[in-house]
Chain A
Amino acid sequence: MNNKKKIFLSVLPATVAATIISMSTGSMAADSDPIKVGVMLPFSGVYAGLGESTRNGLKQAIKEQGNNIAGRPVEFIEMDTEAKPARAPEITSSLVDNQQADFVIGPVHSGVAMGMIKSIKGKDSIMIIPNAGANAATGAFCQPNVFRTSFSSWQTAFPMGKEAYDMGYKKIVTMSWNYGFGKESLEAFNESFTKAGGEVIKEMLVPFPKTEFQSYLTEIASINPDAVFVFFAGGGAVKFVKDYDAMGLKGKIPLLGSGFLTEGTTTAQGPAAEEVITTLHYADALDIPKNKHFRQDYETLYGKPADLFAVQGYDAGQLIAQAVTATQGNTSDKAALIEQMEQLEIDSPRGAFHFSKSHNPIQTIYLRKVVDGQNTVVKVAHENLEDPARGCRL
């Protein structure tokens, strides 16, 4: 009895104090303290262009709020990841532990994403991935405080398998760089193509980042499949599409790909990209009002056309704005924020989406074709596609 009373008496003041502190920080947060948003993107190196677009989109979304969410200004803390996985833990912990960022936006590169997730696990910050597509980020390594506004590799390639079969292709050669994103894309394609009744007769993996494709193209010509499905992105995608055309394969063996094959690359690819068919969760020419407004504003702000990466950054910004508005500016209670984020519907330029249990967008995938240098939408390949989130226990 005596003991219990003692404990009660000693616990009571602590509880009261804790309540007062939490109330005061609650009201302080709703006050005018800035919302701290760490930005971890590649601003130099091969992926610098992607980092720049993502940042532009993110800032556009915050600007639409007048740089002020629920009465609180937004403070950006920008860090260059250089797309180097080795740098990820150090930068993440400096943002999370030293700067006490409420949100960390990043990265572009999947290798960096894995390093970030390990460092942010169990911490009092929310990570929003605006690009990196590694399945595991919202699969085996999923975390309560990690969201993704982009895609999983699986989502971008899975619908193409069935589409390819429906187009009448039975035997297909697949090809990509020998790294995570590429292999995951080929697997997802294989999964739905085989299920539909097709056969992948050869899988070619090119060492990353090699772009000398002649020997592989010679082999494709000799195998002469019904079609070819590939994953390449950026500079490699430009070179592959041009080489494919130069070898005279384009007219004979149709080229299919994950959308990154023709994303932000068609100007450099020129006529070689015409007629190439891909699947992705966005297309520049997507004919919905939100997309048109977004693209117009983006061009006014930055003097160049928006791209997919800008859309994904923009949605990360929208996610923050809507979630913090929903909690009336309170960012100290991360569990409440996360609960809001899980329920939100994001009015994205790609079409509205919400999050799966594993925090990946449930989104529509489009079948696209390059016409006059632009990715045009042929049709919806898969409506509201949800990643299977293999290995996630959320």
Chain B
Amino acid sequence: MDTSLFLVQLLNGVQYGLLLFLIASGLTLVFGVMGILNLAHGSMYMIGAYLAYYFTTLTDSFLLAFIISGSIALVIGIIIERFLIIHLYKRDHLDQVLLTVGLIFIFNATQSFVWGNDPLGIEVPELLSGSIRLTDIVEYPVYRLFISLLCLLVAATMYFTINKTRLGMMIRAGESDRAMVENLGVDISKLFTIVFAIGVFLASLAGIVSVPIVSLVPGMGEHVLISCFVVVVIGGLGSIKGAFVAALIVGIADTYASVLLPQISSMSIYLLMALILLVKPQGLFKN
């Protein structure tokens, strides 16, 4: 592999990693602050994608679809937290599994009922279509670069919000000592609603931006959920910074493994996870 090709593959890896981060960030945020393991996280990715598909075909504008779908996702997040998740805070993880797996079935059935089982897709928006020439032989789709930029923007926003704002302060406090936060007079239930809605929004956002480059199929949420868990576990459950680093590691490792070690590429990221957990059983960034 010559240098330019090596660098293009690195770009592939980083780009895949950033998308993984976008999907996984909501999962780890919700777990970190609320202690809720939302197995229906992948379903939110799926719902975001299908909503974006629906509104794009309806309005003929991807941007409009983006805004509407994102807003609906926030509302869905608030509803689920207010009416369902709220009953789980004092219960153990098994009950969380029961509820959130139940949600997977409900969302899958809804998807199948509303949109059917055939693969669906939309075109890349005009403005972002086309590709950029990287080397003599390799071109790169503009839309993928756009997704990477968006993911970086989300990562930067999360970093800023968590470290520099009042909401972020409460989130950090909630992560380390929930009871103390409550005793200090912070409305923890409101905080939880906001955080859960953001988590759902982030998953949907990943689904929405993926629509032009993926195919929408039943069960698409479950596929991403697995990669998501690998990222979250490697990064350390609940750590946003960990998820970011882990997503990049997984993205790059997966890319190079598929080119250099095709025989073991299907297990490469799990091997990586096993190795990292051997050294750091709590993940890379667990406090």
Contact = CB atoms under 8 A, between A and B. Distances in A.
B217 A235 contact: yes
Contacts of B218: 44-46, 48-49
Nearest to B257: A215
A224 interface: yes
A302 interface: no
A218 B8 contact: yes
B127 interface: no
B254 A235 contact: no
A303 to B, nearest CB: 12
Interface stretch (A137-145, A165-173, A268-276, A372-380): A268-276
Interface in A248-278: 248, 264-265, 267-271
Contacts of B255: 214-215
Interface string A213-242: 011101101101000000000111111001
Nearest to B112: A48
A224 B255 CA distance: 20
Contacts of B5: 218-219, 222
Q: Which interface residue of A206, A219, A265, A269 has the most chain B CB atoms within 10 A?
A: A219
B177 interface: no
A215 B137 CA distance: 14
A166 to B, nearest CB: 27
Interface string A124-168: 000000000000000000000000000000000000000000000
A222 B137 contact: yes
A210 interface: yes
Interface string B108-152: 100010001111111110000001000001111101100000000
B12 interface: yes
Nearest to B258: A215
B227 to A, nearest CB: 9
B97 to A, nearest CB: 20
11 contacts: A48-B117, A48-B218, A49-B118, A205-B262, A215-B13, A218-B9, A237-B215, A238-B215, A239-B215, A265-B119, A268-B121
B265 interface: yes
Interface of B: 5, 8-9, 12-13, 15-16, 108, 112, 116-124, 131, 137-141, 143-144, 213-220, 223, 254-256, 258-259, 262, 265-266
Contacts of B16: 212, 214
Contacts of A391: none
B210 to A, nearest CB: 10
B165 to A, nearest CB: 34
A238 B117 contact: no
Given A207-B266, A216-B258, A246 B119 contact: no
Contacts of B13: 215
Contacts of B139: 221, 247-248
B118 A264 contact: yes
A246 B123 contact: no
B121 A238 contact: yes
Q: Which interface residue of A207, A210, A247 has the most chain B CB atoms within 10 A?
A: A207
Contact of A178 (B140, B141, B256, B266): B266
A209 B259 CA distance: 17
A211 interface: yes
Contacts of A342: none
Interface string A29-63: 00000000000000011101100100000000000
A206 B217 CA distance: 19
Interface string A92-114: 00000000000000000000000
A222 B255 CA distance: 15
Given A46-B218, A209-B223, A214-B255, A235 B131 contact: no
A371 interface: no
A295 B284 CA distance: 58
Contacts of A184: none
A243 B213 CA distance: 7
A248 B121 contact: no
